[in-house]
Structure 1
Amino acid sequence: MSGRTRRRARAARPARAKRVVLLSLGALALVVVACSVWVGARAAISYGDVSAARAEASAAVAAVAADPVSAASRSDRLRAVAARLEDAEGLTGDVVWRASEIVPFVGANLRSYRLTVEALHEAVGRGLTPVVTDLARLETAVSLADRTVDTETVAGAAAGLRTAERALERGRTMLREAESGPLLPPLASGVREAEELVDGLHGTVSSLSVAARVLPGAIGGARAKNYALLFNNNAELRTTGGIAGAMSELTADGGRIELGRQLVPEDLNPPAGAAIPVTPEERALFGTRLGSYIQNVNLTPDFSRSGELTAAHWRAALGAELDGVVSIDTASIGLLLEATGPITVDGRVLNKDNASKVLLRDVYLEIGGRDQQDAFFGELTRVMFDKLFGAGTGTVPVLKALGMAVDQGRISIWLADGELQRELAGGPLAGPLAQLTDDGAPVGVFLADETAGKMDTFLEGSVTATCHAPAATPSAGDTGKSGTGKASTGKASTGKKTGRTVTATATLVSTAPEDIASYPWVVTGPHVPDLTTGHIRTQVQFATTDSLRPTRVSVDGEAVTAITRVIDGHSVSIATVDLAPGAVSVVVAEFAALPTRSPTVERIVATPTATEFEHYAEPGTCG
């Protein structure tokens, strides 16, 4: 080869390489464009299916909730909705779509959209559609007028409802995953709407699933069952809502429910020196009064223990065994009256609007004497029972009102049968402590009155929970200024992450009037040592899962020595505050997460009250 030829060859190589690169880039660009068109087209088609299906599903869910008897007639419509969602899921699940999910920002939105579609299909196709017939059967299985439940029909729906409940749980998990990443506002809004729909479905189906597994054994079977009904008065707070100021006996035989004897605390409280034994941990937290008075069985947030103590009181005082304990608070009466209409008790008309005022305040100002007040609440129980189980009362409105009370933590149940009790575990019916979980609610704030009056009609405030993820410590030798303007120590640091914590805060406000000291002693309480008449003394309990350890408790910014013990595997820390009329106090508890645990905060479990209390949790993962 001549020199000229070699020079031409060398000159041609860069040109050929450039052409190859350009051709490759062109091909890659073509592939990207083709993939974009492919994904965009499929997204557009699926979006139409999803939008129509979501609207139809929302309408169908609302219709089924309003009239479960007609649910079976909507099964064809729901199947059509599920088919639309299945088509949309098919459009978002191919290899091209999945590969596009790795593209920065765009990929996060594609993944979120796919997961939302899958979640909706799971919820409607496998969660709701297969059980609409069961929902209709369940509604007809309950006859309020006859005070009966067809336990065989209820038991027959248990398996299908459990399968549906699990499908809805999977849908909720997918939607939680869909929330992660930088999402476009319209998509983020769509995910939230889908969550509301699936969460609502899950709550309904989960409650019915538990009922279908528990009711046949709890009120059916070969023998009659005996239960204690504790009527909790929110005017004097305890962890489940209030003191057990009135008690009733309930019997269930072959699915039929009857109201038995009406009791007052004096019928069950043991004589001096004969208190029900409590554990050393319980004694340190609550004193011996936990076992001395039936009114105090729910000082502890562990409702299983409250049930055991109630059964012990019942056995000792009446010589009878209990199959369970049902606790319901005063504020639930207003919810039920919205479903049943007004009632008249001892000449007083109670309705959904005035029930709390009459029961928590007027009774103590207008009815003189503890015996007369006890008689009023006993009459209230009888009249309310007759109204609930009377002709003309709609089953669906009553069940909705009960469901709302359960969701608010106003109803708790303990069952002596361990197998049935395990079915309640983790749900709101199991009581305050049992609801704590690393998956969303690792901390709870519970209140108990120590004024011994009815002052909690004047107690308002808020409870909050916040998760603090790890933060990196300064690098070695950093001697600069901190963000607060204070000089740092200048000491070498490790650069490791620290500070995995959860903070729970209770803000308490007294709305008592200035002349509260002139109110009857039954309102302000008997003389309590070191407590001024008209002030409110409250025990604030902070309880956590075993993933958290208490590190500091403060009252109004000052650290205090809190009493801390472990109950049923949960840490419980207690601080006490006194409030003058108009005063505000802030109690803060800080907890450190164990290195191997990553609890998430989505909600806070708290004592239900009849006054204004805001519950807020700042979502986050402590890990």
Structure 2
Amino acid sequence: MTMPKPRITFRGRPGDSRDARRAGLRFRGSRARIAMVAVVALPAAAAAWIGVTGWLAHSELLAARDDLNALRGSIGTSAVRGARATGAAGAPAESDQERLLRSAAAHASRAHDLTTGPAWFVAAGLPLVGGPFETVRGIAGASDRLASDVLQPLVRAVPRLSSAAGAGSVPTALAGLESEAPRFARAARVAAEVRADARRLPHSTWLPAADRGRAELSGQLDRLVPQTRDVAVAARVVPSMLGTHGPRRYFLAFQNIAEARGTGGLPGAFAVLRADRGKLSFEHFGNNTEIDVEAKVNLGAEFEAQYGYNGPQSLWANSNMSPHFPYAGRIWTSYWRAKTGRTLDGAIAIDPASLGMLLGATGPARLPDGSELTADNAVDLTERDSYAKYSDVTERKSFFVEAARAAAGKMTTAFDDPRLLPALLRAVHDVQRAGRLQVWSAHPGEQRLLEARPFGGALPDAPGPFAGLVLNNGAGTKLDYYLDRSLVWEPGACTDKGRAVTTTVTLTNRAPSSGLPHYVTQRVDAPPYRTRPGDNRLLVSYYAGTGAKLTRATVDGRPVQPIPGFERGHPVYTLDLELPRQSSRTLVLHLHEPEGDRPPTVLRQALVTPLKATVKPARPCGR
């Protein structure tokens, strides 16, 4: 029996059969085609994935934005006032704020998840074309962090604090605010980190929608970061300043913004405010005729050189010529100590515009004559109409005190009413953002925190470009009610000294030529030249950035030599300027700013009419 011989095939080697060789070639060809298809398909698939997930992420971000807009609109409404409702099981029900925030956080989280992963990572790193993908990823990540780590601690604290206040326990609410301080501080820190990350995102890409999204995010963060810092500072200082750990007393000055001073307006009526475990009361009301003593406080050689010749420590009317509010606070409390022997814990300044904003939240205050002080008439009634109504100076000063007493009484009543408290707190926030609330504490730890925030009223002393227009009325008139101010900061060419900057200041006196009371138009300064009723005189000071140098100045095109000075690191240039009625004067200053690549910090002195400030963009030096 013959056995069949085994057949052995050696694939891919000489001697293979033709079919086997063809099969091997087909196999290798199919692998190559698969590889080629993969090379072509993977980028296409990745692009499709990015397109789909990008569209979905965009929808999620829009939904998150809508929730946050609704959340912002809900603050202060009846849906969020007072204590939280309870659910069926007796547990606190979710507030509208918490529901909106939870929804916004979920949308932002999904947008962040959709824009992570290898495809987005690789796309964002592509040269030339990766900018929009990096921007979209950054926007989604920032939105996720803002909703979860910044807004949630802030919003979730509101019901807890409102519940305590709604139960009539302001001390408990203050203690709760104090306990929330670490969370608020962390939220402020995260918000600052997110803003720093957002600023590093590409500013100009080939996709306009991504650029618009980044710009919108940056604008929101520029508003949010200061607010979170304000809340964090308030949580640390407000409980103690309102007497949580013992009674406090403050000098409260009502500034008359119809006559300009560095911190805003001429100090007129005043009060001594007592705070004890959140309960506010007033121990005394008075006017400038009571301040007939000399303050004894050392404010340094720089202050003395800049203001000493105007007697700020002996003349009540000149006590706040500096825009640095802590100087005024120290002088005012020293006045009170010299007069009464009593030490105060700090000083606060507000003005009629502040009272109007606060009365908008609390409702009108009734005056002794039966009339009302309202949100709409607070400025006009105290800064204009009262001068026509009361020809007797003593009567007019009494009216100012009574108006201050009525408004203050309305505020303290509202502070004790949990139904009005949210709206009142929002009004306080608006007042301080407008620069019309200034607070100084005699306690160093509190003051260090206050001085870093706008409501501390401090003249910033950090380096960098700066534009500060500060006016002090030099005529003794009450004509600054009719004053308009504009400032244009325009960067020029780069030089070896920094950057050339031109600042144009225009001042307009809209005072009518007739019909004003004599007290409003009288010239206490008694100038040696002829004036008409309605003419005004101003000490105009311009504060430049640290290290800046003035090269030339003109008024209405004519060369002038401003008086140089120095305050808290800023060179100060001052002119004595006559401002006739129904006229404008234009001051132009040419300077060199050593750090001109950034926009300047603009100081906004709070008067009747807000400053119109225009900052023109600069092209960075070296480009």
1:520 has 2:518 as partner: yes
* Cross-structure match for 2:506: 507
Unaligned residue ranges in structure 1 (runs of 5+): 1-23, 472-496
Letter in 2 for 1:330: P
The answer to whether the 8 A contact 2:466-2:600 is kept is no
Matched-pair contact (CA < 8 Å) for 1:547–1:593: yes
Deviations 1:323-366 (A, max 9, x none): 10001112112211211222232423222222211111111121
Q: Do the aligned partners of 1:601 and 1:621 also contact (CA within 8 Å) in 2?
A: no
Partner of 2:444: 418
Identity between Structure 1 and Structure 2 (%): 27
1:180 maps to 203
Q: After the TM superposition, which residues 321-336 of structure 1 pair with which residues of structure 2 at under 5 Å, given as runs?
A: 321-336=343-358
List alignment gaps of at least 5 residues for structure 2: 1-34, 85-92
1:461 and 2:485 aligned: yes
User: Rg: which structure is higher?
Assistant: 2
Please identify, of 212-221 and 58-67, the stretch whose mean Cα deviation from structure 2 is larger.
58-67
Root-mean-square deviation (CA), in Å? 3.3
Question: Per-residue deviation at 1:244?
Answer: 0.6
Deviation digits for residues 353-382 of structure 1, max 9, x if unmatched?
Answer: 222111111111211222211111111121
8 Å CA contact 1:276–1:313 kept in 2: the answer is no
Deviation of 1:467 (Å): 4.0
CA distance in 1, matches of 2:214, 2:98: 25
Alignment of 1:294-443 (within 5 A): 294-347=316-369, 348-390=371-413, 394-434=420-460, 442-443=466-467
Deviation of the 1:276 alpha carbon: 6.1
Q: Residue 213 of structure 2: which of 178, 186, 190 is its match?
A: 190
What residue is the counterpart of 1:110 in the other structure? Answer: 133
Partner of 2:573: 573
**C-alpha separation in 2, matches of 1:568 and 1:116:** 39
Q: Give the Cα separation in 1 of the matches to 2:261 and 2:163.
A: 36
Deviation at 1:621, TM superposition (A): 7.3
Distance 1:198 1:87 in 2: 21
- Residue 589 of structure 1 and its aligned partner are, at CA, apart by 3.3
Q: CA deviation at 1:616?
A: 3.0
Shift of 1:403: 1.0
Q: CA deviation at 1:450?
A: 1.0
Whole-angstrom distance in 1 between the partners of 2:168 and 2:590? 51
**Residue pairs, 1:205-354, within 5 angstroms:** 205-270=228-293, 279-286=300-307, 287-347=309-369, 348-354=371-377
CA distance in structure 2 between the aligned counterparts of 1:220 and 1:525, rounded to whole angstroms: 44
Shifted more, 226-235 versus 443-452: the winner is 443-452
> What amino acid maps onto 1:373 in structure 2?
R
**Number of corresponding residues:** 569
Which amino acid in structure 2 is aligned with residue 456 of structure 1? D
- Aligned AA (1:417): H
- TM-score, normalising length: structure 1: 0.82
2-side partners of 1:622 and 1:541: how far apart?
28
Give deviations 1:414-460, integer Å, cap 9, x for gaps: 111111011112211111513x6568x73322222111110101111
Equivalent-residue separation in structure 1 for 2:479 and 2:282 (angstroms): 31
> Per the alignment, in what secondary structure is the counterpart of residue 561 of structure 1?
coil
How far is 1:89 from its partner?
A: 2.0
- Are the structure 2 counterparts of residues 291 and 117 from structure 1 closer, same or farther at C-alpha, using a change threshold of 3 Å? same
Paired residue secondary structure (1:470): strand
Contact conserved, 1:442 with 1:600, CA < 8 A, in 2?
A: no
Cross-structure match for 2:540: 540
Give the secondary-structure state (helix, strand or coil) at the position aligned to 1:505: strand
Cα separation, 2, equivalents of 1:76 and 1:146: 26
Q: Which residue of 2 aligns with 1:170?
A: 193
Distance in 2 (CA, whole Å) between partners of 1:284 and 1:576 is: 17
- Answer whether contact 1:72 1:132 (CA < 8 A) is retained: no
Whichever residue aligns with residue 618 of structure 1, its letter is K
Following superposition of structure 1 onto structure 2, how do residues 62-81 of structure 1 map, counting pairs within 5 Å?
62-64=73-75, 66=77, 67=80, 69=82, 73=95, 74-81=97-104
Work out whether residues 469 and 605 of structure 2, in 8 Å CA contact, stay in contact via their aligned partners in 1: yes
Structure 1, 457-466 or 498-507: larger mean CA deviation: 498-507
Query: Match of 1:335, as an amino acid?
Result: M
CA distance 1:540–1:179, shift in 2 (3 Å):
farther
Provide, for residues 507-550 of structure 1, a one-character-per-residue CA deviation record: whole Å limited to 9, x for no partner: 1101011226x631344332432462431112222224436444
Q: CA deviation at 1:140?
A: 4.4
3-state DSSP class of the match of 1:291? coil
Structure 2 CA distance, aligned partners of 1:450 and 1:89? 58
1:600 partner SS: coil
Aligned to 2:7: none
The answer to whether the 8 Å contact 2:297/2:330 transfers is no
Q: Which residue of 2 aligns with 1:46?
A: 57
The DSSP-based 3-state class of the residue aligned with 1:610 is coil
Q: TM-score normalised to the size of structure 2?
A: 0.82
Moved more, 159-168 or 143-152: 143-152
**Contact conserved, 1:238 with 1:449, CA < 8 A, in 2?**
yes
Secondary structure of the equivalent of 2:564? Answer: strand
Change (3 A) 1:590 1:150: farther
- State how far apart, in whole Å, the 2-side matches of 1:196 and 1:144 are: 38
State how far apart, in whole Å, the 1-side matches of 2:501 and 2:162 are. Answer: 42
Give the structure 1 partner of residue 23 of structure 2: none
In the TM superposition, what is the alpha-carbon distance from 1:231 to its structure 2 partner?
0.4
Q: Counterpart of 2:556 in structure 1: which amino acid? A: D
Deviations 1:59-90 (A, max 9, x none): 22332454365596243542343233223223
Q: Describe the shift of the 1:211–1:60 C-alpha distance in structure 2 as closer, same or farther (beyond 3 A).
A: same
Residue-by-residue CA offset, 1:150-170 (whole Å, 9 max, x unaligned): 431221111111111222222
Shift of 1:299: 0.6
